[in-house]
Structure 1
Amino acid sequence: MRDPQAEPSDLIRSVSRAFQVLEAVGQSPRGLTVKQIARRCELTVATTYHLVRTLAYEGYVMRREDGTYIVGLEVADRFRELVLACRGPQQVQDILRKAATDTGFTHMIGRFITNRVAIVAVAEGVRSPYAEDLIVGFDDGAHATALGKALLATLSADQRWRFAKEQGMPAFTPQTLTSPETLDADLTAGERRGLHLELNQFRPGIGSAALLVLPDREQDRRVALACTVPATELTASAKAIKTRLTTVAQQLAEILRE
């Protein structure tokens, strides 16, 4: 959600409205007519028509035969560029893929993007339970995933409390930590053991482990590595998982420091 207090004084309204239109279309996979877009964005039909035609010309929305608009292919191109910029070199994906193949566990890396914890690369493993949310671009639930905890642990207590207030701490499962106090205690334990853990906190039946790959004074340059495993295996395998993650993290650090 946009913060009205953070609105720049030189905001270009037409650009802002165009993005509102694009977001409305993107949130409606079945497509929207111009009138439907106008209602959702609280714009006049005439203004919406001009914005939609411009977005269609640039390839960011597409008109279907029934007159509705859906997201255009240019969005996919921008997404790929974002992934590359945030993930780093192709070697990063290669390392994750090898780790997933060797262990059977899904591996991923994440970092802070505009003050949110986002997944920027994933390689799926055949032994990990499938979680449809844990894909590139996912930026919710940092308090409920080991990946998020590894990054949140790099913040000061005040920064974490502010993060929790702004992002919220919803309960994904009955085991989710939903207060800053319990999260702080969990992060302290994770730092002490050198491995952040999460068991059934994000999705039932799934556990995850994570550690920091790159510490950095700049928040958006910090990178964390995680793997997801069946919840029943996490506790018994935590020591072995930490060893493997440490090795993979060292390989990633060498690439990402270049």
Structure 2
Amino acid sequence: MRLLEAVGAHEEGAPAKQLAREAGLALPTAYHLLRTLTHEGYLRREKGVFVLGAAAERLVSNGAQQNRRSMIGEALEHWRDSIGVPVYFAVYREGDVEVVGVADTPGSPAVEEWADFRETAHAHAIGQCLLSQLDEDSRQDHLSRYRVQSITPYTVRDNRTLLRRLASMGRMQPVVERQEYALGTVCAAVPITAGTTAATLAISVPVHQADRLLPAVRELQSDVGRKLGSLAFSISI
């Protein structure tokens, strides 16, 4: 690890003798470890100096990814605790709905994914909010791969009805869905601006607490600006 840190401190790389000195290692030991690290892909030797290899870069990338996910989790937990409802964060990536994070409690559990979220975007607030942010071609492409079908008595029935609903949605207005995905649950989702990627924050409450939904989503909207950076950062995950 000390050798990796020493190499990482030199953008253009450094020779073995210098790395051994900076890592506080005997030269024979440093040579042995440098050969091993190079063999395993953590270092590369180029023109007599050692630079970080692909394996080390993957470690850095994975660490940054975990850090971003932790930031997202902390933001969702903040809203869960302050508003008192389950909170979801999702993006539309490579043609699919992807739920990046969920924060809930035993007393206020998240909606169970009983039907694949990717295949039922037409039926839940998260999916409808994401689809509403797509251009017409991307929206049509999604619907050509995932057929609109009723999964509860309240689900939108066909593509035409869904497209008409999506077209009527205000650009930054919350999307409300009442028992279209899960009986006994109402949900709301708000669009998130994060570069060119469609993203959304959503909440859910039991249907007998439906009067809490709009006040809760307005509270979420009013607070989201302060923590938007950590969510937008996650788009690169």
Q: TM-score range by the shorter chain?
A: 0.5 to 0.7
The reply to whether residue 122 of structure 1 matches residue 102 of structure 2 is: yes
The reply to whether residue 174 of structure 1 matches residue 153 of structure 2 is: yes
Q: Deviations over 1:20-72 (max 9, x none)?
A: xxxxxxxxxxxxxxxxxxxxxxxxxxxxxxxxxxxxxxxxxxxxxxxxxxxxx
Q: Does 1:212 align with 2:188?
A: no
Q: Which amino acid aligns with 2:165?
A: D
Letter in 2 for 1:101: D
2:201 is aligned to: 225
What is the alpha-carbon distance in structure 1 between the residues aligned to residue 140 and residue 133 of structure 2? 13
Aligned to 2:112: 132
Q: Distance in 2 between matches of 1:176 and 1:237?
A: 22
Q: Secondary structure at the match of 1:172?
A: coil
1:200 aligns with 179
Q: Structure 2 unaligned runs (5+)?
A: 1-60
- Does structure 1 conserve the Cα–Cα contact (< 8 Å) formed by 2:203 and 2:217? no
Query: How far is the alpha carbon of 1:208 from its aligned partner?
Result: 0.6
Measured in 1, the distance between the counterparts of 2:67 and 2:157 equals: 29
Q: Which residue of 1 aligns with 2:28?
A: none
Query: Do 2:134 and 2:198's aligned partners in 1 also have CA atoms closer than 8 Å?
Result: no
| Pairing of 1:67-86 with structure 2 (within 5 A) | 85=65
Deviation for aligned residue 1:180 = 1.9
**Long gaps (5+) in structure 1:** 1-80
* Secondary structure of 1:213's aligned partner: strand
Give, as a single letter, the amino acid of the residue that structure 2 aligns with 1:95.
Answer: A
- What residue is the counterpart of 1:157 in the other structure? 136
Preserved contact between residue 190 and residue 197 of structure 1 (Cα < 8 Å): no
Secondary structure at the counterpart of residue 186 of structure 2? strand
Residue deviations 1:166-210 (CA, integer Å, cap 9, x gap): 112232101111322211232244326811011000010011100
Residues 252/214 of structure 1: CA separation in 2 closer, same or farther (3 Å cut): farther
Distance 1:110 1:85 in 2: 16
Please tell me whether residue 243 in structure 1 is matched to residue 228 in structure 2: no
Q: In the alignment, residue 202 of structure 1 is paired with which amino acid?
A: Y
1:257 CA displacement: 4.4
Equivalent-residue separation in structure 2 for 1:178 and 1:187 (angstroms): 14
Alpha-carbon distance in 2 for matches of 1:95, 1:121: 10
% identity of equivalent residues: 22
CA distance in 2, matches of 1:90, 1:99: 15
Task: Report the CA distance shift for 1:128/1:170 in structure 2 as closer, same or farther (over 3 A).
Answer: farther
- DSSP 3-state at the match of 2:200: strand
The yes-or-no answer on 1:92 pairing with 2:51 is no
What is the identity, as a one-letter code, of the residue corresponding to 1:157?
A: E
> Which structure is larger by alpha-carbon Rg, 1 or 2?
2
- In 1, the alpha carbon distance for the partners of 2:162 and 2:230 equals 31
TM-score under structure 2 length normalisation = 0.62
Greater RCO (Cα-Cα under 8 Å, separation 6 or more): 2
2:93 paired residue number: 113
Distance between the aligned counterparts of 2:201 and 2:117, measured in 1? Answer: 15
Following TM superposition, by how much is the alpha carbon of 1:114 offset from its aligned partner in structure 2, in angstroms? 2.2
Matched letter for residue 230 of structure 2: I
Q: Tell me the matched-pair count.
A: 172
CA pair 226-130 structure 1, distance change in 2 beyond 3 A: closer
The two structures, once aligned, show a CA RMSD in angstroms of 3.0
Report which stretch shifted further, 154-163 or 116-125: 154-163
Note the C-alpha offset of 1:245.
2.0
Give TM-score scaled by structure 1 length: 0.58
User: CA shift at 1:215, angstroms?
Assistant: 4.3
